[in-house]
Amino acid sequence: MDKFVDAKYGKGALVHRLIGYDCSPADNKRFAHAEGKTACRSGDIFVYPLQMWGWHRIECGRQIELAGLPLPMKSSCYFCPAMKAHEVAELPEDKLRKIVIIEANASPNLRTVAGLWRGRRMTDFIRAEGLLPSAEIDRLWAKWSAPDRVIKCAEVASEDVLAAEAIPMPIAA
């Protein structure tokens, strides 16, 4: 973000950054944790308008609907450990495939966690809910957990690699 701000406004320009933490207990906790600890361009000012207005998540949704806009999906990475089961179930298939690839790739090296949900794998949920066919999950898992396939260098694990694999392959007749 700092590089984008520098390129758009110039190094040293005073920038106000608006952060969308609401007044829910979870976001109040995140705000308290982040306050004064954010390492970024010196001089930038962080503003939390939803907290200033006293809005919690329900009020945010009400205001969005009053403006005639559709409610947005939760903004988080599709592989966020904080994703709830219903949020994973709402993901498009390409993101579900990427979750399987990420967990499969990590599996040979995991010692203290089972997967992205720490104590369990999102892949197991995807399979149990039938969000992807079991045969496809098995194919991805076999390919990406293979010792010769495991990516050990983060720079190689680009979104392009995952995107190419997340495109469904035609099933041979």
98-134, pLDDT tens digit by residue? 999 999 988 888 889 999 999 999 999 999 999 999 9
125-166, pLDDT tens digit by residue? 999 999 999 999 999 999 888 776 666 665 555 565 666 666
Average pLDDT, the chain: 82
Q: Which residue has the higher pLDDT, 173 or 4?
A: 4
Structural contact between residues 102 and 116, judged by C-beta atoms closer than 8 angstroms: yes
Structural contact between residues 147 and 115, judged by C-beta atoms closer than 8 angstroms: no
Dihedral-angle region of residue 71 (phi above 0 means left; psi in -120 to 50 means alpha; beta otherwise) = beta
3-state secondary structure of 145: coil
Domain chopping of the chain, boundaries? 2-66, 85-166
Of 24-28, 46-50, 104-108, minimum mean pLDDT range = 24-28
Nearest to 98 by CA among 145, 162, 164: 162
Check residue 157 and give its pLDDT. Answer: 55
- The conformation of residue 171, written as its DSSP 8-state character, comes to P
Check residue 77 and give its pLDDT. Answer: 86
Residue 26 reports pLDDT greater than 80: no
Distance CA 127, CA 113 (A): 19
Distance CA 147, CA 161 (A): 17
Check residue 138 and give its pLDDT. Answer: 96
Check residue 131 and give its pLDDT. Answer: 98
Distance CA 144, CA 164 (A): 13
- State which amino acid sits at residue 48: Y
Check residue 103 and give its pLDDT. Answer: 93
Distance CA 48, CA 17 (A): 8
Is pTM beyond 0.75 here?
A: no
Check residue 23 and give its pLDDT. Answer: 84
pLDDT-derived band at 17 (thresholds 50, 70, 90) equals confident
Backbone angles phi, psi at 61, to 5 degrees: -60, -40
Structural contact between residues 145 and 107, judged by C-beta atoms closer than 8 angstroms: yes
Average pLDDT over residues 69-78: 82
